[in-house]
Amino acid sequence: MSDDRIEIRDLLLRGILGINPEEREKAQDILINLTLFADLRPAGRSDDIADTPNYRTITKRIIEHVERVGRYTVEALAADIAELCLADPRVERVQVRVEKPGALRFARSVGVEIQRRRGQPAA
């Protein structure tokens, strides 16, 4: 297992997320941070995007999913995102943090952080 990583920080999206009726009516801010663990040596040697996880492609899939799915819990959305990341066969492990800014009074945000490995169920 490699300790090499690709980090995607502060991906701010809008989507339906929550259990209360008002949370289901209109999209709200969702903040996502990802760490993709993969062996980056092949791309370091070849300088070829085909030898590394394509974070642009992974991010596009996440954006499409968040804007479309409308999950009730932050935990379920984090599990979805982990599964999308692990769909790239070069990603060995992923750390996903999903936050809802302003979800609690007096708190900047509320979030969950999960880690999943290839071959391990995301949920």
What pLDDT is attached to residue 123? Answer: 61
Which residue type, as a one-letter code, is found at position 58? I
pTM for the full model?
A: 0.92
Question: Could you list the active site residues?
Answer: 100
**Portion of the chain with pLDDT greater than 70, in percent:** 98
Per residue in 74-89, pLDDT (tens digit) is 999 999 999 999 999 9
Q: Domains for the chain: give ranges and CATH numbers.
A: 5-113 (3.30.1130.10)
